[in-house]
Amino acid sequence: MSALSPLVSHDQDSLRCPADIYRQLRDEGVRYAPEIDAYVVSRHDDVIRVLRDGKTFSSRNTVGRVVAADAPADPRALTPLLLMSDDPVHARRRSIVNRAFTPSKVAAWEPQVRQLAREHVERLRDLSDVDFVRDLAALLPVRVISMVLGVPLEDVAKFREWSEEITSSVGHHVGDEARRQQVQDEFTAYIGELLDRWDGVVDSSVLSQIAAAEKAGELTRHEGVRFTAELLVAGNITTTHHISSSIALLGHAKGIFEHLQEDPKLIQPFIEESLRLESPIQGFYRLAMADAEVGGSVIPEGARVFVLYGSANQDEAAWADCPHMRLDRPNAAAHVAFGKGAHACIGSALARLEGRVVIEQLVEQLQSFELIKPPSQVPYQASFVNHGPLSLPARLTFREGDNQ
């Protein structure tokens, strides 16, 4: 048994606040955890060292098991294009799909993302009971990614359904295999149709960039479809969790919401602190390709390694005054919530934008709000990788005179 054990067995109190477990892991240094058959890396500098050395620490098992990314058993399978590939294949692919996600391209989406966030928050007025997760955080990310991809509005409901099914099929081994194949074929056919309809103009939509890369012979059709599926899987539940966790922080910590209302410029640093303290991905796996020394311990060749971003983000050695949220950190954005190195999250700019404009809309439209459940009763995702609240029932007071 290792200190990680309560998290692996999904103990709710530990999942909600893993800080004590992470502290113990950092005190112990790199240790083997039999529960997950992996060496756990938890100190900030060790986490960075592993993430920066993709040659020694392969990404082929990022989600825990090795998925045959390049020659899958089912050639039509929607295996991620980037997540589990290593250089040089990864660098080549990433340099192609990167183009659609540069900070300046993402920044250009801000007015449309804000409009969507505004509509989603306005809709909360009409509900008799509001759950911030169910009624806001779970809805917005698919809507945003559909828009950024270039999925027509009338197809968004269908797209949401596929997105949920593809996400759950990647996350779990179980499930209805026939249904998985059906969704995979429908999704592939649908994206194929959108790519066929491409008018040859590269605009801000991600699909137009994929279509152009396909036309130029840089990506195959199937690679384009896999990348699209990967965006859904990587960007949905994580962004939902980020928004939910941010709202939980605002609801549970006294005075912060009012503070942001007084000075909305603090919303960006708040978002960085939310990402740091409540990282939507707490950790991913790597595979040691050679014996390697990390933090004074030896990780043997062939071993699985669990890299704990969530712990690195709470390491007192890297973060002054650590357990506390501080809206004046000079290095606020340097956290590891999006990973580091070659596999750093491609959608980080979009996630940050989405997180910020949602909170801006809440700050703008709400006079105040109150979370109905105390922090100790908020249910959390049963996973030690994905971290976020599942439900946040709330009482809202909208500002008077707005949007009536």
Partner 1 sequence: MTAKISVDRTACQRQGACAAHAPEIFSFDEAGELIFRSEIDAAETDVAEDAVFLCPTQAITLTQ
Residues binding partner 1 (CB under 8 A):
52, 54, 87, 90-91, 94-95, 98-99, 101-104, 340-342, 344, 349
Minimum CB distance to partner 1 smaller for 102 or for 368: 102
* 313-330 core/surface letters (b: 16 or more CB in 10 A; e: else): bbbeebbeebeebebebe
Minimum CB distance to partner 1 smaller for 6 or for 54: 54
Q: How far is the CB of 56 from partner 1 (least distance, A)?
A: 12
What are the angstrom distances between the C-alpha of 107 and each of 91, 100, 116, 238, 318? 24, 11, 15, 20, 29
Torsion sign, CA atoms 36, 39, 43, 48: negative
User: Which residues on neighbouring strands pair with residue 293, listed in sequence order?
Assistant: 298
Q: How far is the CB of 338 from partner 1 (least distance, A)?
A: 10
Minimum CB distance to partner 1 smaller for 206 or for 362: 206
User: Which residues on neighbouring strands pair with residue 32, listed in sequence order?
Assistant: 39
Q: How far is the CB of 219 from partner 1 (least distance, A)?
A: 15
Q: How far is the CB of 39 from partner 1 (least distance, A)?
A: 22
Distance, in Å, from the CA atom of 96 to the CA atom of 242, rounded to the nearest integer, reads: 27
Q: How far is the CB of 146 from partner 1 (least distance, A)?
A: 23
Structure tokens at 122: 């306005």
Q: How many CA atoms lie within 13 Å of 159's alpha carbon, on the beta-carbon side? A: 24
Q: How far is the CB of 69 from partner 1 (least distance, A)?
A: 17
Q: How far is the CB of 75 from partner 1 (least distance, A)?
A: 26
Minimum CB distance to partner 1 smaller for 105 or for 326: 105
Length of the chain: 404
**CB-based contact 358:245 (threshold 8 Å):** no
Minimum CB distance to partner 1 smaller for 47 or for 195: 47
Compute how many other C-beta atoms are within 10 angstroms of the C-beta atom of residue 114.
17
Minimum CB distance to partner 1 smaller for 16 or for 94: 94
**CB-based contact 394:372 (threshold 8 Å):** yes
One-letter amino acid at 228 equals: T
Minimum CB distance to partner 1 smaller for 102 or for 397: 102
Of 48, 24, 40, 37, nearest in space to 312 by CA: 48
Distance, in Å, from the CA atom of 29 to the CA atom of 48, rounded to the nearest integer, reads: 14
